[in-house]
Chains A and B, each alone.
Chain A
Amino acid sequence: MGDWNTVTVPVLSSDSKNIFQYTSEKKISPPNMNSQVLRLPLPSSKSMHSFFSAFCTEENIEQSISYLNRELTTLGFPSIYAESKGKELNLISIINCMNELLVLQHKNLRAQEEVEMQHLKLGSDMDHLQNCYAKLKEQLELSKREIVGLQERDRQLQSKNRNLHQLLKNEKDEVQKLQNIISSRATQYNHDMKRKEREYNKLKERLHQLVMNKKDKKIAMEVLNYVGRADGKRGAWRTDKTEARNEEEMYKVLLSDYEQRQNQLLVENAELKKVLQQMKKEIISLLPPQKQKPKERSEDGPVLSDLEEDIGELNKENIWELSCETVREQLTNSIRKQWRMLKNHVEKLDNQVSRVHSEALNEKDVISREDHELETEKLELEIQQCKEMIKTQQQLLQQQLMSPCDDDTTLLLQDCYLLEERERLQEEWRLFREQKKNFEKERRSFTEAAIRLGLERKAFEEDRGAWLKQQFLSMSTDYKRSENVTTPSAFLGSSDQDNRLVKSASQQRKPHCKLSGPVSAEPCQTSQYITRNSSSAASKKPAGDSKPNQWVESDKEETE
Chain B
Amino acid sequence: ASCVQYRLVVRDVSTLQILQLYTCLDQIQYIEWSSDSLFVLCAMYKRGIVQVWSLEQPDWHCKIDEGSAGLVASCWSPDGRHILNTTEFHLRITVWSLCTKSVSYIKYPKACQQGIAFTKDGRYMAVAERRDCKDFISIFVCSDWQLLRHFDTETQDLFGIEWAPNGCVLAVWDTCLEYKILLYSLDGRLLSTYRAYEWSLGIKSIAWSPSSQFLAIGSYDEKVRILNHVTWKKITEFEHPATIVNTKTIVYKEVEKSPSVETERLSFPPTRALASSLFSMQSKYDISQVPVSLQYIKPVADRANPKMGIGMMAFSPDNCFLATKNDNIPNTVWIWDIQKLKLFVVLEQLCAIQSFQWDPRQPRLAVCTGNSKLYLWSPAGCVSVQVPVEGDFQIVSLSWHSSGDSMALLSKDSFCVCYLEREEV
What is A's interface to B at a CB cutoff of 8 Å?
Answer: 179, 182-183, 186, 190, 193-194, 197-198, 201, 204, 207-208, 211, 214, 216, 218-231, 235-236, 238, 242-243, 246-247, 249-251, 253-254, 257, 261
Contact = CB atoms under 8 A, between A and B. Distances in A.
Given A211-B68, A218-B67, A235 B133 contact: no
Contacts of B99: 226-229, 235
B185 A247 contact: no
B307 to A, nearest CB: 23
Contacts of A253: 123, 167-168, 186
Nearest to A228: B99
Contacts of A247: 148
Interface string B161-191: 0000011100000000100000001110000
Interface stretch (B13-21, B56-64, B246-254, B386-394): B56-64
A221 B61 CA distance: 11
A222 B63 contact: yes
Contacts of B132: 198, 201
A479 to B, nearest CB: 80
Contact of A242 (B80, B144, B156): B144
Given A222-B61, A223-B101, 11 more contacts: A183-B199, A204-B89, A219-B65, A219-B66, A222-B62, A227-B39, A227-B81, A230-B36, A235-B99, A242-B144, A246-B146
Nearest to B99: A229
A229 B67 contact: no
Interface majority SS on B: helix, strand, loop or mixed? Answer: loop
Contacts of B96: 221
B156 A190 contact: yes
A179 B130 CA distance: 29
B232 to A, nearest CB: 13
B79 A229 contact: yes
B350 interface: no
A218 B35 CA distance: 28
A216 B62 contact: no
B100 A235 contact: yes
B92 to A, nearest CB: 7
A182 B178 CA distance: 13
A86 B166 CA distance: 159
B81 A214 contact: no
Contact of B101 (A186, A221, A236, A251): A221
B70 to A, nearest CB: 9
Contacts of B68: 211, 214, 216, 218-219
Contacts of B64: 221
Q: How large is the interface on B (under 10, 10 to 19, 20 to 34, 35 or more residues)?
A: 35 or more
B141 A246 contact: yes
Given A224-B59, A247-B148, A254-B186, A218 B65 contact: yes
Nearest to A216: B67
Nearest to B83: A221
Contacts of A182: 199
Contact of B186 (A190, A226, A227, A250): A250
A193 B133 CA distance: 9
A186 B35 CA distance: 44
Interface in B38-62: 39, 54, 59-62
A221 B98 CA distance: 9
12 contacts: A193-B157, A201-B132, A204-B89, A216-B68, A223-B98, A226-B100, A226-B101, A230-B36, A235-B100, A250-B148, A250-B186, A253-B167
A195 to B, nearest CB: 9
Nearest to A195: B133
Nearest to B166: A257
Contact of A224 (B62, B97, B156): B62
Contacts of A194: 133
A231 B101 contact: no
B287 interface: no
A505 B60 CA distance: 81
A182 B67 CA distance: 45
Given A182-B199, A204-B89, A230-B36, A236 B144 contact: yes
Nearest to B149: A250
Contacts of A198: 132-133
B124 interface: yes
A250 B124 contact: yes
B63 A231 contact: no
B69 interface: yes
Interface string B114-157: 00000000011000001011000000010011101000000011
B127 to A, nearest CB: 16
Interface string B1-41: 00000000000000000000000000000000001100100
Contact of A221 (B62, B144, B157): B62
A218 to B, nearest CB: 4
A236 B97 CA distance: 13
A49 B187 CA distance: 144
A250 B96 CA distance: 24
A179 B63 contact: no
A223 B91 contact: no
Given A253-B123, A254-B168, A254-B187, A221 B92 contact: no
Given A226-B100, A229-B99, A235-B100, A204 B63 contact: no
A398 to B, nearest CB: 45
A208 B92 contact: yes
Nearest to B36: A230
Contacts of B168: 253-254, 257
Contacts of A222: 61-63
A222 B63 CA distance: 5
Instruction: List the 9 closest A-B pairs by CB distance, nearest first.
Output: A218-B67, A216-B67, A219-B67, A194-B133, A257-B168, A223-B62, A246-B141, A227-B98, A221-B64
Contacts of A216: 67-69
A217 to B, nearest CB: 8
Nearest to A200: B89
A223 B230 CA distance: 48
A211 B89 CA distance: 12
Contacts of A211: 67-69, 91
A380 B39 CA distance: 84
Contacts of B148: 246-247, 250
A20 to B, nearest CB: 105
Contacts of B187: 250-251, 254
A228 to B, nearest CB: 7
A179 B199 contact: yes
Interface in B172-223: 177, 185-187, 199
A191 B66 CA distance: 34
B280 to A, nearest CB: 46
B60 to A, nearest CB: 5
Contacts of B185: 254
B63 A221 contact: yes
A230 B98 CA distance: 11
With most chain B CB atoms within 10 A of its CB, the pick from A194, A225, A227, A243 is A227
Contacts of A218: 65, 67-68
Contacts of B81: 227, 229-230
Contacts of A207: 89, 91
Nearest to A225: B60
B43 to A, nearest CB: 14
A523 B104 CA distance: 77
Nearest to B96: A221
Nearest to A231: B79
Contacts of B89: 204, 207
A212 to B, nearest CB: 9
Contacts of A183: 199
